Amino acid sequence: MANTLIVYHPTCLKHCPRTHERGHFYHPDNAERIRRVVAELQKLDIDWHEPKPVQLSLLEKVHHPGYISSIEAYSNGEPIDYRVVNADTPFNKHTFEAALLAAGGVAEAVDAVIDGKSNAFVIARPGGHHAEYARGMGFCIFNNTAVGAKRAQEKGLEKIAILDWDVHHGNGTQQIFYKDPSVLYISLHQGNLFPTNSGHSHEQGLDEGKGYNWNFPFFAGTVTGTYLSVFDREVMQRLERFKPDMIFIDAGFDAHQDDPLGQLKLSDEAFTHMTQRVKNLAAEHCRGRIVSVLAGGYNIETLPQLVGRHVKELSS
């Protein structure tokens, strides 16, 4: 059995906690989806860890200090500048604290895995992969996985791979590492979904980072067999060639066939298959070091079971 860790702080539920009225949800990224994931994972015999807020010095390696200050100000009630944070990203007085804890959770998961845990799964909310250097959008405030990658490099690891299988393109992660050859970013997503101006296959990095950014956009309606053929052939080949020191997964489950925000048609088994393949590669190249971070997944009936299968595979 793998020595897996689950990282979670209940303050993330306070970030825009209102979930529904008469059966209708106010926002796709509502607190109920996290409550149900937590309840499912509590059935497993796995260690849990409650993180502290991320250190500002680490956060500033990913985000502009002025942007960080703006997020704090908006959480304190100042009017939101929608050029800084898109209107699709909700705020309340707990948002800044929750965002610091989400980023801190990924950083502490990195520490735990380097210090001996086989791998870790982070229940992070608000999410991260749409958050750019100085702009938030798509329900995302701080780029939690990018913070984790920087923490891993602080701890002496050099080559970091980020595999993003959320149905939406991780424009923020791409932007942050676009010129960085020490970070391999691979995204599988529905093309022209969100954001529509990024995630194209020709976006392969810039300057020294050329060849370290790979996008695999799929047409709406793509089924499991087509998707996994690309994953097994193209994605695994690039990971194998890179030989990372740690692998991060932006583990979105909104490419599932029953998710309301995407139109890909992945089965339950698709996510288990990808988890298993990444786990085997990590065992070969980086002592099994994986930090998986919860991203999308907005069907609250299917999400807990999908996350449960993912974590069981990590811990098997």
Looking at the annotation, which residues are catalytic?
130
Which tokens sit at 182?
A: 């020490």
Q: Which residues pair with 168 in a beta bridge?
A: none
Burial call 84-115: b when 16+ CB within 10 Å, e when fewer: bbbebbbbeebbbbbbbbbbbbbbbbbbbbbe
Q: Please report where in the chains the tokens 């060639």 appear, as a residue.
A: 241
Which tokens sit at 39?
A: 């309840």
CB atoms within 10 A of CB 21: 8
CB atoms within 10 A of CB 290: 28
| 20-21/24-25 β-pairing | antiparallel
Q: Which residues pair with 187 in a beta bridge?
A: 164, 215
Task: Quickly list H helices, the chain.
Answer: 31-41, 56-59, 65-75, 95-114, 144-154, 171-177, 224-230, 236-242, 268-285, 303-315
Task: Quickly list H helices, 76-205.
Answer: 95-114, 144-154, 171-177
- Are the CB atoms for 252 and 190 separated by under 8 Å? no
